[in-house]
Structure 1
Amino acid sequence: MANLVETARWEDGVYQFETSDPVMGGPDGVDNRQAKQLANRTVYLKAQQEAHAGAVDPHPQYQTQAETQVLITAAINALVAAAPGALDTLKELATALGNDPNFATTMTNALALKAPLDSPTFSGTPKVPTQAVTDNSLAAASTAFVNALVAAGVQSGGKVSGVNKPNLLFNGSGEFGNAGWQSSNYSAIRGSVGEGYLFSNTANINSTIVDVSSPFAVGPNVVLNLSGEIDTHGMTAGHGVIDIQCYDASMAGLGTIATAYITPGKAYTFVSATGTTPAGTAYVSVRRYADTGPVITPFGLIFRRLKVETGNAPSLFSHEASIAALASLFANAQNPYIKFPNGLILQWGVITYIGTGYNDIITLPIAFPNGFLGGSISDGGNGIHSCAIVAATKTTITACGGLVVNNAISYQQTSYRYFVVGC
């Protein structure tokens, strides 16, 4: 007994037994034809299956797992635009936006609070970097820059280039009275022998008495030179002294620099001293005084030509700070008054008659702090009738501008011109 020989071949059909077929065995017998055909199909299918299962890529029309992963990765990268790992998920993005569902509105409202680039207006205390004093660019200037520039030698009116430096101290000899000084123990007077204005005591001095100038802006680490002339001809004990006092922005004292003095019994003596402002300095002032148990007769201690300038050596005396201050007197020239540093005030104007009888009350442009000193008033147009100031207060003058005949007003001014002085 033997097995049929199987061939790996696809049979197109399966033989159908006929009634007339004889019974015949053997490899080619009709009785084995169907079995052989089916066996051949089975072997063929088995070979096909084994070839398919053993193939590296049995379905090339389909993507492999690796190819699919490449496509997925590319799609994700396209979605997040290759964002960094910390921002490549929706959760990370939401966290970065503060989980604010109205982030766009929030940002729009915040940006609306910012100053524009074109003509911005700031509030509060904006700060900018402090540029070098030599900077000549369009960079913004801080107050520290301005102070340093002033301390480095900003020119005030009247500076003679190459000969002297600006005097940072206002009223160093008393030309403007005691203006610019917080006290006047050494009063501003005119010298009796033609030496001009000076500061001197008008009464006996038997203790340390100090006058201090009004503070002026100077920054830290600035070399200052203090100079002046001191006369101690009427002094038998103590010293005549000048120095510079330094303050911070809150006017707390930071110490003294540049002290110069002379001993008793000296005629006018030029003195100078140099010092550097300490850290934190925002202002300085000059002090003039007598120390160490002074004994001074009236007009026995004199200070004049006091000067503060930058640098470590004195130069010629100059009046720049005084000239700059004097210019400010006329800053309001459009207003009908002038205020002088010594307190004197001049006022003037023209007023129309206001119909209160022959005495009209005129309200002055500004009030005199202490009182009316004097003045004059005249006919505002006709120039033929007399006028007079018959009363005055700190704020008003009363003008008499009518002519009275038999207890009746026969003429009234249409306007007045007035010029008054007070303090």
Structure 2
Amino acid sequence: MIRATVSALALGSALLSVHAVFAQELATKDRIGLADAPKTLVVRLTNDSPNNADPAIADGYRKLFVDFIKKHPDWKLQLQFMSTDIGTEQAKMLEQAKAGNAPDCAAVDSFVLSQFMVNHVLADFTPYFSKDEVADLFPFVRTGILDKDGTIRAWWWDTDLRVLYRNKSIVPDAPQTWDGLKTAALSSVKQGMEGVLFNGGRYEGATFDWLANYWALGGKLVDDSGKPVFGEGENKQKFLKALNYYKDLVASGAAPKRVTTIANYDDLNAAAAAGTTALFIGGNWQYAQLKATLDEADFNNWTFSPIPGPTADHRSTGTGGWTIAAFSKDKGKVEMCANLARDVYMGPANALQQQLPTRKSLFDKYPVFATDANKTFSQALADGQARPGVPIYPEISNQIQIMMGDVLSGTKQPEEALDGAFKATMEAYKRL
């Protein structure tokens, strides 16, 4: 009996050892799948992958990838990872794609997806996603992944949005309008805070977060052909109104002058943790970060609400996120890339990282999205607005960043700064 028990334990240990070795063979630092698998898919990813800096999330991705490759034993994924300089990484990948040297499959930032589309370097994903899956996408996502012919050129799997965070012990009620936010911010200053914070430095986030105010007025950055129009006619007047709103926040002391140096959402978290602010414009993902950073009593003081608009009935929020796209001309590789987008990223990866899904039904499928906070985020996404999918957008953003710094620092008056930004944008547009 003892001998049988020992033998059983030995056999169990041996099997565990075999499984451990097998798992190791399937997952290395830059490969998922057996080294001698006959088919290879070269995949370039962000840190939404086994390369994540958080060990728990990295392990979670590794498991998702191993489970995926077990269903495709003839394949291996050769992994490449981008640096945190996303703008440079995406520009480099576009040039590689135009030269025919891009990876087979890769993460493409949603706000530059259009640049890849107009250069005709993306494979057709249409055969691999059902009409029901496409119909389930939030409207701004569905529009973003389709080219002019209605062809699916990428699968947009996660998204985000911007909200107003506030410390309820300092600001009990959610501001509903621009005037209401200014009043609340000035009240917080009287209570020892530094007012409302937001990204105002040379940073894409500064443009994107502010655009909610312009969009709430019905302003457009480009016309239907992709030509910039924000500096002319009614759009110019709306632009100036939204720009003067931010200028007044700083001039009145409702926002500190240091917003011109804030170019990172982490700086906003740091101010909340230090107890120096009771209001800031940030992303939905920061709610979980605040929970992890603050002690329970302090965190319970924090909540969020929609970004105030010029009136309570006119407001907007910016939405972003990442896509998976294929560059290969090999149909087998394109299908494998689409499978990766569906089986790993569309749902499982959302739940792993608590990154908002782009399909409405997934909020009900995964318990993590059943929280009151995520339900509120889901409702807000119905009115979300993505950056325009046009090649000129990066230059529009660049010019708005420059303009914002000049206006908030007092170097230029709003109309002068806007005219200069629009002129520079149009010159860049003519060179496209």
TM-score by length of 1: 0.23
Between structures 1 and 2, the one with greater helix share = 2
Bigger relative contact order, structure 1 or 2 (CA pairs below 8 A, ≥6 apart): 2
Q: Which structure: larger Rg?
A: 1
Q: Which one has a larger percent strand, Structure 1 or Structure 2?
A: 1
* TM-score computed with the length of structure 2 as normaliser: 0.22
